[in-house]
Structure 1
């Protein structure tokens, strides 16, 4: 059964990619960490325009994808490197879809969207081309909303509960990012899932204009 490899929290730190501070440098915690309604308690979320909030309260990355990156980069990568709050074992990224849930003790998380790489991640990795590399890999991890709050600890068991509705994988959503002309049936399928509210608004407007 999958488990929490680590629970990661960041504090404000400087980075070359921006004049201000970042919370991307997240480090594994040894004790219990509280998951709040809109964030992991104690975690630094500084760019509120692109991070945090109800539909991006928790960022999850998979240990299986870290294994892939270790081979791709020919260097070990430790949990928290990509700025995720929770690193989970065993689950394969291709199996994650919008609306899927992670159940960790009392905590229930629901996947809302993929992660879009940015200059801060590229600076974190010391590679100006890492944005394109991350997109091409299709291994984005997943942002989640918090359905039920509670405490989690590294080593906790994780249940992956698939969404009962239309299957829109996180990788599929990521692959369509930046596409100007999207198929109406695809957008309708996405809207039948509990997708991130910003994407919902965008797709609803697109479909309304097409009518």
Structure 2
């Protein structure tokens, strides 16, 4: 019998003599010993406690008038710095981003100015590029399209009616949880960037301002 086997038997005999709780603890110890003897199959590139989800790319999907959407891709899971660099280096991911830029406008008839962000999100979520990445956010992009969301709001006194393209406050966007690809229309939830709680989400595409001059970011 090997030395490891003799030690395991000794643990079992002692645990049986002491009682059931000690026996359970002993089983846990034995399992730990066995796991310690098994080879670690973790890729060295992933073997670190220092992991985080990382933003991969801001992909500008626009039509011939420069209107459309900014799609923010991130790693699907927390990754090490080494794995992040490896993912960024994958040529097929770069090719996928270029395909999305080219194919999305054509899918929506050549113009994205009037394309609903939820309809676009359904298309983009189903546009598979790589299993290790996912869409983190989608923002409306383009001067004409972003201006929709700083139109006068008759129900909001002193609302801002000029888009700040630096902060993008009030611009329409989606989070990664806002679209459900398993239902026909994906669900309908529209968000407005950096607006106060009661005005930051709507069930319809509200093409007007959602913040006041007092709430404006500087």
TM-score norm. by structure 2 comes to: 0.25
Bigger helix fraction: 2
Kindly indicate which of the two structures has a greater share of residues assigned to strand: 1
Query: In terms of Rg, which structure is larger?
Result: 2
Q: TM-score with structure 1 length normalisation?
A: 0.26
> Which structure has more RCO (C-alpha within 8 Å, separation ≥ 6)?
1
